[in-house]
Amino acid sequence: MPNTHAGCQTFPLPPECAEFPYISCPHGHWVDTTTFTLYALSLSIVMEPIKVYHHFKTELIDKSDRVSLVERAVHDLLMTSKLADVERESTVCWELKHSTSTAQFARVLARKRNLPIDICSVGMMLHDIYSMIHGTYKDHAHRGAPLAMDLLKDKGGFSDEELDKIYRLIYHHSDKHVWSDDPLEEFGKDVDVLDCFLYEGAFDFYLGNKPLKVFVGYLERAKRVWRELGIPQDLRFNLLNSYSEDWFGNLLAVQKAEQALYLLNMLSSESVSLSFRPPPFLILQHGRQAEFWGDKDSWTSYHGTLKSSEIECLEPALLDPCRELVAALAQVTETAPDLPYTEGDETNPEAFSEVASHLAAGTHAEARAVLFWPVVGIYELLEGDKMKKRLEELGVVAAQHEKGKKDVS
């Protein structure tokens, strides 16, 4: 405390003066009003008396602490929800975790991007409010923005301009594949992606629930945000780098389907580092015949990688057959070759039996397919409408159609 008594030159003040720091002291000195006024003014601007942290106890949250009030309200909404987990597409646990972690990531990324921290954290806390209340994600971003406005107006403390920013963040957050110039719109998408890709099940979920052309946007965002935060890149984010609507427009040549599966399974193994895992490929089965489909450019490039490198954890004796196989796959055929299954082939390992037996089971006319994503260690068993949709996304149907036209002519 400065010596506010012009006549008392000691610091700290003598005890008898300290009792009267802002008026006169027993020595008859009067307060130095200029010093006092400046001191009191600066104190009132930058400092407050120490207080106990509220730890979100409702009664301890200051009425002016608008962010904490909203955070508490969201948690109350979830903890008292009558909608059981079985009626939800996710769970109350997930909603609590995701809303909290995205709000915290928002505080970090908003600082990095010089955006308003309160607005960004409240926006992320509320971005999935429709799912929290109704348990479904269908159009939840668009439907959730007005619900968030109702809650915020009820709590108070946000200007119209701030409400508009939060609205934009929530309303657009699902359009990850759309790029805009609005920093608030982009913020909601980026933070959502940042949080979700920290969960191991992210690739399974997105591959199972998003069209590939939309998932491309998620992966691109993840790469950009990781780079922005200086986090080492995750090679799995390159999964759809070369994706296009006619991505698998090439039928890859291979003579022995089961042998190919065996070798590709080895290359896809967890013990082989991500940089040596093969590109995605599809096995399309017609009765006892199988076709291999993939992206020609990716396989050609992969062939080059294999030619010039030793693959970690792969015995040298197995490397040559792998190279031969990939060389064969990298060639593109004009017409579909006859690719017989060799039933009981001794190269079919026990560990790979699930996929192999699934394929071998298709002994009748019904076509089925298995789509392999080696870099993320996932394969999709495809049948019926799901298969039709996936083949269209990959461009396989289009290619077959073209081939059919050629055969007729």
Report, in Å, the least distance between residue 116 CB and Fe ion: 20
> Distance (Å, rounded) from C-alpha 238 to C-alpha 3?
65
- Helical pair 117-126 and 183-196, crossing angle rounded to 10 deg: 60
Q: Where does 156-249 have alpha helices with state H?
A: 160-171, 183-196, 202-209, 212-228
Stretch that binds Fe ion, among 125-133, 149-157, 242-250, 378-386 (CB under 5 A): 125-133
Report, in Å, the least distance between residue 155 CB and Fe ion: 21
Report, in Å, the least distance between residue 124 CB and Fe ion: 8
Which strand (E) or helix (H) includes residue 358? helix 353-361
> Distance (Å, rounded) from C-alpha 260 to C-alpha 359?
13
**Hey, what amino acid is at 152?**
L
Stretch that binds Fe ion, among 55-63, 128-136, 289-297, 396-404 (CB under 5 A): 128-136
Stretch that binds Fe ion, among 31-39, 112-120, 189-197, 246-254 (CB under 5 A): 189-197
Stretch that binds Fe ion, among 67-75, 77-85, 122-130, 220-228 (CB under 5 A): 122-130
Report, in Å, the least distance between residue 47 CB and Fe ion: 38
- Which residue minimizes CB distance to Fe ion? 192
**Hey, what amino acid is at 364?**
H
> Distance (Å, rounded) from C-alpha 118 to C-alpha 103?
9
Report, in Å, the least distance between residue 135 CB and Fe ion: 13
Report, in Å, the least distance between residue 138 CB and Fe ion: 11
Where on the phi/psi map is residue 42: left (φ > 0), alpha (ψ -120 to 50), or beta?
A: alpha
* Smaller CB separation from Fe ion, 139 or 354: 139
User: Does 190 engage in binding with Fe ion (CB under 5 A)?
Assistant: no
* Smaller CB separation from Fe ion, 71 or 128: 128
Count of positions on this chain that bind Fe ion (CB under 5 A) = 2
Q: Give the Cα-Cα-Cα angle 354, 358, 362 (nearest 5 degrees).
A: 165
Report, in Å, the least distance between residue 111 CB and Fe ion: 21
CB 272 within 8 A of CB 266: yes
* Smaller CB separation from Fe ion, 4 or 174: 174
User: Does 192 engage in binding with Fe ion (CB under 5 A)?
Assistant: yes
* Smaller CB separation from Fe ion, 145 or 359: 145
Stretch that binds Fe ion, among 43-51, 123-131, 215-223, 390-398 (CB under 5 A): 123-131
Residue with tokens 């939060």: 166
Q: Where does 238-350 have alpha helices with state H?
A: 257-268, 296-308, 316-329
Report, in Å, the least distance between residue 127 CB and Fe ion: 6
Helix/strand/coil percent split, the chain, to 5? 55, 10, 35
User: Does 128 engage in binding with Fe ion (CB under 5 A)?
Assistant: yes
* Smaller CB separation from Fe ion, 186 or 192: 192
Residue with tokens 């993840």: 222
* Smaller CB separation from Fe ion, 173 or 390: 173
> Distance (Å, rounded) from C-alpha 142 to C-alpha 226?
27
Report, in Å, the least distance between residue 209 CB and Fe ion: 12
* Smaller CB separation from Fe ion, 36 or 94: 94
User: Does 291 engage in binding with Fe ion (CB under 5 A)?
Assistant: no
- DSSP sequence for 171-190: HTTT-TT---S-HHHHHHHH
Give the residues across from 292 on adjacent strands.
Answer: 252, 283
> Distance (Å, rounded) from C-alpha 100 to C-alpha 104?
6
User: Does 185 engage in binding with Fe ion (CB under 5 A)?
Assistant: no
* Smaller CB separation from Fe ion, 192 or 295: 192
> By the criterion CB under 5 A, which residues form the site for Fe ion?
128, 192
